[in-house]
Chains A and B, each alone.
Chain A
Amino acid sequence: MKIQSVIDLEKITQEHSGNLYHPDSVKVNIGMASCGIAAGAQAAFETATQAFAESKAVAIGQTGCIGYCEMEPLVEIFSGGTPRVIYKNITPDKILDAINDYQNGIDQKKWILGQMRDPRSLLEDDIDNPLAKVAPFEAIPFLEDIPFYKNQVKIALRNCGYIDPDCIEEYIAKKGYFALIQALNHSEPGKILETVKTSGLRGRGGGGFPTGIKWATCAKHDGDRYIICNADEGDPGAYMDRSILEGDPHSVLEGMLLAGYAIGSSQGYIYVRNEYPLAVKRLVTAIKQAETYGLIGDNIAGTDFSFNVKISTGAGAFVCGESTALMASLEGNVGRPRAKYVHTVEKGFREGPTNLNNVETYANVPAIVLKGAEWFAGMGTDHSKGTKVFSLVGKIKNTGLVEVPMGISLKEIAFNIGGGVPKKKKFKAIQTGGPSGGCIPERFMDLPVDYQKLAEVGSIMGSGGMIAMDQDTCMVDVARYFMDFLKEESCGQCNPCREGIKQVLDILTSICAGNGKEGDIELLEELGSMIQKFSLCGLGTSAPNPVLTTILYFRDEYEAHIRDKKCPSGVCKALFHYEIDAEACTGCRVCARKCPQDAITGEKKKVHDLNQDLCIKCGICYDVCKFNAIAIR
């Protein structure tokens, strides 16, 4: 069936909303994004499918990532007219027990993350909540009330974790493709451009360029225009785009279709990392399904608008996330950036005007078109509208994927949503913007999440990686780590980036090894400043950020390394040693037992002794001591 109008979409919605809201039987949705699969969801899924192959009482389904990756595999179980119950850490051996538990009246409260009364997405505001009036389960918290979810607003992630990503009908049932069909049938392209412009949506890939302006400029230039989706997510610790592609691929396709319509392009490319096999698989399925319904292809919904989407997989070069490098790679050339003195919206892919946005940006678009620019612009700050997805990782309790309105403070994200630093350690800094972002110290934690504000403290929004650091993180080592990453990932074309980063890394390595000397900090600053100004592409110009921000905010740590030859955080092995704090030591022997070198001796209940000659500074004693009796000196 080729969809021609909203009526067709509504027909599908009706047919499939049951799957989402009123299953005839017990519905078990297993979180099957990469994070879930990594935790064992695939095996759990197979076990469950096998067990209930013949049964009509239990239906097994899959969803994308619901965000709380710490608790994966997450399994959602519900039946007609009851709130959804989300079981956590459901490894394959527990899946049948969990289903059993649900069917038998929910005894294992400890297994349950929470229940959910409101599965509607933002796009479904106008639909009655089918579960609003049903009675909740007793003694099970509502997901909406737990801190992790409480302050999140999901636009880009609106369907992630709620629908089966391999099922276009479920996407449609969640108001998917309504924006596209309405636009094709009722709006001129110019109106779409205007909507996106007014919404204040900015590029979520990191640069934050106003999306509407980009689209409009691209539309102005003649030639074969191209729509490219940048799904080459390369920042270590960032997986927002992957989750969207795995959990809700159609939202990205619809965003691209809208962009194609608005800009006047009929050719779309998705450049996705080959390391995201599941995302690629789901995209392929999604494109096929959309083609079946005539949502991708020629004369979409009977209009003049035609649009095709091709997937191209990248070989995993970080620099290919840079737009010109990505286009070069897409053309079959070596993925190296070029100077953007002539913008890609004028001359990009195959010399044609090219609009490139990342996954999250496109995923936002259908919602904006459907709900209006004002709705979107109503969220966030003056300069940054809407929401932003972050992947929260590092020294933080609740690692996972969160989507928060712009303007929310870093503290809110790190402490309320993220749950703060575990193990009573002291929070030190938060790193945003990926490897070329900056480290923001604790004193700026009230800073609202906003493109400008982050830039003011020397960092960037980036694509949404957020790494928390505690007292055990050495900032010099962090800078060294990121520089090491960038040294590998620099394309090597321009001298400031290639040679500069190499030398910066060399200096940092020598500082970490205890060979730092006076003047090193100034030399790093001099190099950093030049690399920022003189590099060819964004990779180079932002590469010194980790070094420059750590010097700016943690200069004392650098000085301690260089002058005192000490690593205060106990990371740089050449610059510290462990000692047993005689006052705190209870003589429990835990450390002595765990020490792989037998370097700790001492009788029970007597202060232990650490033989420095044998110690290899592996840090096991430090980690296992419950009394903080291992001191870093």
Chain B
Amino acid sequence: MITFKLNGKTVQGDEGQYILQVAEKYGIDIPTMCHHKALEPAGMCRLCTVELFDGRRSRFVTACNYPIWEGMEITTDSEAVHQGRKLIVELLLARCPDVPMLKKLAKEYGIEEPRFKTEDDDCILCGLCVRMCERMGSSAISLTGRGVEMKVDTPYHLQSDVCMACGACASVCPTGHITLEKINDVITRRQGVGPIPSEYDMGLKGRKPVYVPYAQAVPNTPAIDRDVCVHFKTGGCKVCTEFCGVDAIDHTMQDEIVELEVGSIILAPGFEPFDPSKFDTYNYANHPNVVTSMEMERVLSASGPTEGHLVRPSDHKEPKKIAWFQCVGSRDLNRCDNSYCSSVCCMYAIKEAVIAKEHAGDDLECTIFYMDMRTHGKDFERFYDKAKEIGVRFVRSRVHTINPVAGADDLAVRYVTESGELQDETFDQIVLSVGLQTNPETVTLAEKLGIELTKGNFCKTETFEPVETSQKGIYVCGAFQGPKDIPQSVIDASAAAASAGAALSSARNTRTQEPEVVPETNVFGERPRIGVFVCRCGINIAGVVDVPAVRDYAATLPYVEYFSDNLYSCAQDTQETMTQIIKQKNLNRVVVAACTPKTHEPLFQETLINAGLNKYLFEMCNIRNHDSWVHKNNPDLATEKAKDLVRMAVSKVALMQPLEEAELQVNQTAMVIGGGIAGMSAAATLAQQGYETHIVEKSDALGGQALNLYKTVAGDDIQAKLSGLIADVNQNDNIQVHLNTELKNVEGFVGSFKSTLAVDSSENELEHGVAVVATGGSALKPQEYHYGEDPRILTSLELDRKFMDKDPSLKELNSAVFIQCVGSRDQDRPYCSRVCCTHSIDNALELKKINPEMNVYILYRDIRTYGEREYIYREAREKGIIFVRYSLENKPVVDLSNENITISITDHVLGRPLEIVTDLVTLASAVIPNKDEALANFFKVPLNDDGFFVEKHAKLGPSEFATDGVFLCGLAHYPKPIDESVVQGRAAASRAVTLLARETINTSGTIAETVPMNCSSCAVCISVCPYSAPSFIEEGPFTGKAQINPVLCKGCGLCVASCRSGAIKLKGFDNDQIFAQIFAMNEAM
């Protein structure tokens, strides 16, 4: 231990320590520029110079590298020291007048303008980069030259081979003289060396060897990439350990093998995007402006490499013309082995084009080159129509080659239009809509597990067991089951969870770990201490609203004790930080200015709970949807509005009180409405999980639409499978089937519904905790093509019936025609019925099987055999089935005037009218919903314009409603084939089980409460309440006055508004709270 004097105070340090280290320990700030904790001090900038008295005389030494010794006396801030430092800063400012860090430092020293001749350098020659590079073991750069000629340079000014582009130099450069981008520019010319591409950003951005994969990654702890970490390469560096305050970095850690004993396994390995490098004619590997759709996703993302600013890679110019090429790595046997359709690319390409136009403005030209446009998802067709409306151009053509334009970074393509003309066109950028394929590692995994794969390398499953693999106990979901989009993957996931859990249901709750409950702090009577968190939402908010200004404004508001801004407030790490801050600063009210409380309020309330605060001491204001999104073109006013919103929220939250929530028992019975495939699947799943389940079916039999279907595309006999399923349901003790039963009424709410079931004239009441809506749909009875006028004109289901009946007349047919999109994708029903293309092709093949000589035609608009259904499309063409395309404006005409049925259509290849004389016309009629408005009212769930039920969230909540306790599956959701119905039935059940399994739930704290003193007993509240929550008190001093059952109250506020005596208030929306908010808003006017 060495004792010496620091600014007159006696301090101690260890032998070998430098002054700076001891000063830091004692909280004495000494400015530095060339110092870095991880590097040997160099004493070059001299900014840390201090005065040393050695007993005889005073001199000046640098604190960073002067070793301490017993008895010395150090003054860190004498006048001479201050003057000297100031002059050094002034000299450097003269050298680099535009470096922000110097400008800031100069300001601190009160320097306005340097008194010296200025230059325009941006390197202060601190040498940090050089020392860092040395530490990295590379020494690729050095301080070269002497005196004023000194600069950071490479040997002979040439990029040297020892540079590994690790970017360590850039990371320590305080002035921005060295940037990763600059290194990038130089380095990328050399093969094999470059910044580590960020996997998350598709390599469009570099990342560090120590990194968090992306901002919201879970767990949100950094990892060291051994493959690129300098320490693992050279044994040196270890700079990170110098910075870790808690010694968390252990370079000796080894991979661990963890063995788990499990009852079931779910495979969700996902997919890998197709790598288009091998398509040499597309020049993806050679031309920077040919990008994949995944790269485009990142560019368009607010958290992406350009923060959502649309620029092309080669020159960072904003493109004016972009083209998307569909089916790259899909539906292709010539250039790759992926003959299936990847299902998602059409939709994402349209989405990208629309977003690109949103980002770059309407004058951006977006063109999509495609074969068939496959927008078969829910509401997708509408989006397609909207894209056409806003000017996205769709060209039906598969382009062969992309040619770089000499002398420019542009790209030329030559293609044939639908009318057969050759066109040349130049684009600024081309996006390859790459397909989905199974990763080779996943294939290996499947081999290890003994799982059968399809010929497209997806997991093989059965139509009626769509999440079961060929190995018992192993389940599958997501894109490994077949290429699919997010909603379908989410549905799969729920179903797989249900299936995997069914076998384990007896073990439920045996390994539950109770989360640690943070005791709630009593804030009663405390002065409000408000914390305001303003969210940047990447650039969603910060791109328009001046977030720091809003944050600083919040600081000026009454009772605000803490304020900050976050990049993403909803990120897990931010949540943890917020919890810490609430605790540390003793906050008792919190305001988050971010997005919508609809999606994010529960998340932040959870944060409050974790910090020990009642979750109702919280107010959220929406400065995104209500502000930055709608006032994009007016950033200044948007900022002011954000301030107003924050001020209003702060004034309200100050008056917030902790609220209590009532706990309710969840009735452990489930009701499934509809006995079709989806409903039965849901019921079977619920029953397997051990819950009593009631199927309410209005017809006299289980089976629904499946009763009309012949066979699946995989060749399964639907009727045989269906009978099996029905038998299982009937035999299951946990399932009660109510046939010929109608739902008359539903009362109650999540956890305790009371439904009235009517059979004939008698009514029963069923009490249940959850409900699954599986009311199905039906086939449209066509109004066109002379349907119903001739027995030879059928619907698809009627043809199926003929197959089932083994109708001998089918054998006699010489010719058959299928007309697609009958009632679908038109003005009345602007949606795709999803199943018909596959169904018709399958039936066409069946006809060919019966009579190979038969001429079979399919008249279509776009063939939508998504996923591996594509194989039968190919097979159909191989078998000679003739596909003729028509457009909505130019439908086929069926003529019955002669004996024969004559169909006129314009051939899309020949461009000439074509007449087909046929013996059979099959109309692929639309799937239509039941439009059950009564049911919608019972459960307070919405229907969309087409009459399908609207799920909670199109992507993330496809099998449940926004109303708690009510779930959705099957055709009631959207047209879908059997496998998808089975899956969604199970998914809905799975979601229901998450609720049932909790056994109790909490009601909301924001409910109405009466003040009996003021009540005039008028009973208006009782009559208006849709939930029967108010009633008269029957005994005690307030007999006859109204009271509200907190369990029944949903907090809708009807009674509050209706009460003429002002005797009812809504907790959390009390008059003083709302008026405080209004008065605060008034300030803005």
Q: Chain A interface (Cβ within 8 Å of chain B)? A: 317, 319, 334, 338-339, 341-342, 487-496, 498-503, 506, 523, 526-527, 530, 533-536
Contact = CB atoms under 8 A, between A and B. Distances in A.
Given A492-B125, A536-B62, 8 more contacts: A319-B146, A339-B61, A342-B67, A488-B146, A530-B88, A533-B80, A534-B46, A534-B60
Contact of B146 (A341, A489, A500, A536): A489
7 contacts: A317-B146, A319-B146, A492-B147, A492-B149, A495-B88, A502-B147, A523-B115
Given A339-B66, A341-B67, A499-B95, A530 B44 contact: no
Nearest to B116: A503
B45 interface: yes
Contacts of A495: 44-47, 88, 91-92, 124-125
Contacts of B182: none
Nearest to A506: B117
B143 A530 contact: no
A530 B147 contact: no
Contact of A494 (B46, B94, B142, B146): B46
B145 interface: yes
Contacts of B67: 341-342
A506 B61 contact: no
A526 B87 CA distance: 9
B65 interface: yes
Interface string B737-774: 00000000000000000000000000000000000000
A341 B66 contact: yes
A614 to B, nearest CB: 34
Interface in B286-306: none
A494 B87 contact: no
A533 B60 contact: yes
B60 A488 contact: no
A499 B92 contact: yes
B94 A536 contact: no
Given A487-B147, A493-B150, A535 B117 contact: no
Nearest to B86: A530
B888 to A, nearest CB: 75
A503 B46 contact: no
B933 to A, nearest CB: 80
Interface of B: 42-47, 49, 59-62, 65-67, 80, 83-84, 87-88, 91-92, 94-95, 115-117, 124-125, 127, 142-143, 145-150
A339 B65 contact: yes
A342 B18 CA distance: 12
Task: Tell me whether chain B's interface is mostly helix, strand or loop, or mixed.
Answer: mixed
Contacts of B66: 339, 341
Given A341-B65, A493-B127, A535-B46, A499 B94 contact: yes
A499 B47 CA distance: 13
Contacts of A317: 146
Contact of B143 (A492, A501, A534): A492
A322 to B, nearest CB: 13
A575 B55 CA distance: 50
Contacts of A534: 46, 49, 60, 84, 88
A339 B49 contact: no
A492 B43 contact: no
Task: Tell me whether chain A's interface is mostly helix, strand or loop, or mixed.
Answer: helix
B97 to A, nearest CB: 13
Given A341-B67, A536-B43, A334 B91 contact: no
A536 B46 contact: yes
Contact of B83 (A490, A491, A499, A530): A530
A27 B776 CA distance: 130
A545 B142 CA distance: 31
Contact of A488 (B80, B91, B127, B147): B147
B116 A494 contact: no
Contacts of A535: 46
A341 B18 CA distance: 11
Contacts of B95: 499
A498 B43 CA distance: 14
A503 B83 CA distance: 17
A536 B34 CA distance: 13
Contacts of B147: 487-492, 498, 501-502
A376 B125 CA distance: 48
A263 to B, nearest CB: 24
Contacts of A499: 88, 91-92, 94-95
Contacts of B115: 523
B44 A536 contact: yes
Contacts of A503: 91, 94, 116-117
B84 A530 contact: yes
Contacts of B60: 533-534
Contact of A492 (B61, B124, B146): B146
Given A492-B147, A492-B149, A498-B125, A506 B116 contact: yes
B446 to A, nearest CB: 59
A493 B127 CA distance: 8
Contacts of B142: 334
Contacts of A533: 49, 59-60, 80, 84
A489 B147 CA distance: 6
A95 to B, nearest CB: 43
B44 A493 contact: yes
Contact of A496 (B83, B88, B146): B88
Contact of A339 (B43, B47, B94, B125): B43
Contacts of B61: 339, 341
B88 A493 contact: no
Contacts of A488: 146-147
B387 to A, nearest CB: 59
B199 to A, nearest CB: 40
A185 B47 CA distance: 54
B43 A494 contact: yes
Contacts of B94: 499, 503
B145 A492 contact: yes
A490 B146 contact: yes
A530 B146 contact: no
B94 to A, nearest CB: 7
Nearest to A319: B146
Contacts of B44: 493-495, 536
A334, A499, A533 — which one has the most chain B CB atoms within 10 A of its CB? A499
Contacts of B149: 492
A487 to B, nearest CB: 6
Contacts of B83: 526, 530
Shortest beta-carbon contacts, A-B, top 8: A492-B150, A499-B91, A490-B147, A533-B60, A503-B116, A492-B147, A339-B43, A530-B87
A533 B84 CA distance: 8
A499 B46 CA distance: 12
A529 B643 CA distance: 52
B494 to A, nearest CB: 65
Contacts of A342: 67
A492 B46 contact: no
A499 B90 CA distance: 10
A440 to B, nearest CB: 24
B867 to A, nearest CB: 66
Nearest to A500: B91
Contacts of A490: 146-148
B148 A502 contact: yes
A334, A342, A492 — which one has the most chain B CB atoms within 10 A of its CB? A492
Nearest to A519: B115
A527 B87 contact: yes
A527 B86 CA distance: 11
Nearest to A489: B147
B150 A498 contact: yes
A523 B115 CA distance: 9
A502 B44 CA distance: 17
A491 B146 contact: yes
B62 A492 contact: no
A491 B127 CA distance: 13
Contacts of B59: 533
B744 to A, nearest CB: 88
A460 B115 CA distance: 31
